[in-house]
């Protein structure tokens, strides 16, 4: 073993990782069964620690300190120590806590999946499917907000927001000026009114991509299509503002939406500019590549289809085949 590496065992599987690695990152390195994350987002500094869905049990703190940690800890913030033993899915206590967190997140989140554009690629929908309960015990009044137009391209449904702060960090870290944030605290917390100005920025559309739920939606795509009826293709173009590498969501040879590409953790690695996202919705604008691999569990990934791209790369036809 490299003396600089730290050994951690998660649900019986061990891995050696560099100092500074968090439990969540180590679990992702091991493979499929990593804790869910609704607020942590690798490219965004200081993200994490807000939603608590990534809680795990540390059964042994380290080789030098074999005692368990007294409470469940947020795996996205807790760093690995040498000899640490962690329980994720193997702990009934963790699974029960996750049930509780989902129940809390759904207290104010409306169950409007049938009319929400995020349905089919919503982290909360997936989380509720795996860890939710059939009924709520909540009987109090729920928070209500009017929808807010953030310029002409983005709409905020504050009732769906889970206050993960991802959009705030995105605006803070990849745009020139952040003009929105979380105002107030506790039950009164909301994404702030100054968000209207964020639309001025060339990269403001990225807050839609990082939002884990349907709180921030692309107005140019609203109600156009259920996402699983469109076909995602990787495409690129030469752009002087961003990498120009996107996913085109195509229906009947029309580009109905342009998004950044996400990895298997649902995270954008290369943010894209608003020109690519909103102003290039013709197939002729893009060099179209392979059908995009949607690696995360989702209804889109459930659709296995073959693609035919006719030359020149302007006509795209995707044909579903049964497994
Ligand atoms: S609007 Fe979306 S990204 Fe922003 S804090 Fe709410 S849930 Fe998170
Ligand atoms: S992902 Fe760890 S607290 Fe949200």
- Which of 26, 36, 39 for mutating ligand 2's site (highest number of atoms within 8 Å of CB)? 39
Helix 123-131 and helix 92-108: axis angle, to 10°?
Answer: 130
Phi/psi of residue 148, nearest 5 degrees: -120, 130
Shortest-distance ligand to the CA of residue 190? 1
Q: How high is the pLDDT of residue 203?
A: 87
Task: Check pocket membership of 158 for ligand 1, CB cut-off 6 A.
Answer: no
Task: Check pocket membership of 163 for ligand 1, CB cut-off 6 A.
Answer: yes
Q: From residue 48, how far is each of 18, 42, 164 by CA, in Å?
A: 20, 9, 8
Q: What is the pLDDT of residues 117-153, one digit of tens each?
A: 999 889 999 899 889 887 888 888 888 888 888 778 8
Q: How high is the pLDDT of residue 187?
A: 75
User: 207, 162, 205, 159: which is closest to 38 by C-alpha?
Assistant: 162
Q: How high is the pLDDT of residue 300?
A: 59
Q: How high is the pLDDT of residue 322?
A: 32
Nearest CA to ligand 1 atom 4: 167
Report CA(316)–ligand 2 centroid distance (Å): 39
Q: How high is the pLDDT of residue 193?
A: 53
Ligand 2 atom nearest to 24, measured from its CA: 2
Q: How high is the pLDDT of residue 45?
A: 93
pLDDT less than 70: residues of the chain: 1-2, 177-180, 184, 192-200, 295-323
Report CA(76)–ligand 2 centroid distance (Å): 6
Strand (E) or helix (H) holding 171: helix 166-174
Q: How far apart are CA 217 and CA 157, in angstroms?
A: 8
Q: How high is the pLDDT of residue 220?
A: 93
Domains detected in the chain: 6-90 (3.10.20.740), 99-218 (3.30.70.20), 227-320 (no CATH)
């Amino acid at each position: 073993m490299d003396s600089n590496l730290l050994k951690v065992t998660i649900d019986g599987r061990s891995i050696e990782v560099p100092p500074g690695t968090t439990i969540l990152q180590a679990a992702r390195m091991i493979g499929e069964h990593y804790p869910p994350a609704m607020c942590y987002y690798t490219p965004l500094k200081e993200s994490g620690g807000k939603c608590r869905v990534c809680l795990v049990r540390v059964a042994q703190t380290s080789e030098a300190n074999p005692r368990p940690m007294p409470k469940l800890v947020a795996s996205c913030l807790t760093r690995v120590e040498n000899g640490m033993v962690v329980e994720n899915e193997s702990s009934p206590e963790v699974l029960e806590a996750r049930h509780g967190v989902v129940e809390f997140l759904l207290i104010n989140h409306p169950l409007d999946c049938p009319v929400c554009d995020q349905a089919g690629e919503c982290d909360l929908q997936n989380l509720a499917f795996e860890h939710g309960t059939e009924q709520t015990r909540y009987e109090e009044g729920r928070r209500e907000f009017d929808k807010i137009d953030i310029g002409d391209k983005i709409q905020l449904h504050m009732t769906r927001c889970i206050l993960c702060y991802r959009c705030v960090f995105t605006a803070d870290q990849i745009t020139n000026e952040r003009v929105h944030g979380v105002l107030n605290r506790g039950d009164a917390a909301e994404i702030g009114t100054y968000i209207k100005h964020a639309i001025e920025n060339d990269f403001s559309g990225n807050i839609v991509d990082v939002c884990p739920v349907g709180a921030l939606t692309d107005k140019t795509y609203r109600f156009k299509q259920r996402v699983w009826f469109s076909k995602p293709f990787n495409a690129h173009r030469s752009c002087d503002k961003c990498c120009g590498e996107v996913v085109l969501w195509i229906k009947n040879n029309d580009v109905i939406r342009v998004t950044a590409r996400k990895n298997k953790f649902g995270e954008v690695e290369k943010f894209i500019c608003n020109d690519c996202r909103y102003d290039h919705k013709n197939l002729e604008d893009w060099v179209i590549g392979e059908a995009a691999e949607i690696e995360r569990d989702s209804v889109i990934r459930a659709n296995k289809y073959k693609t035919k791209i006719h030359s020149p790369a302007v006509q795209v036809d995707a044909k579903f085949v049964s497994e």
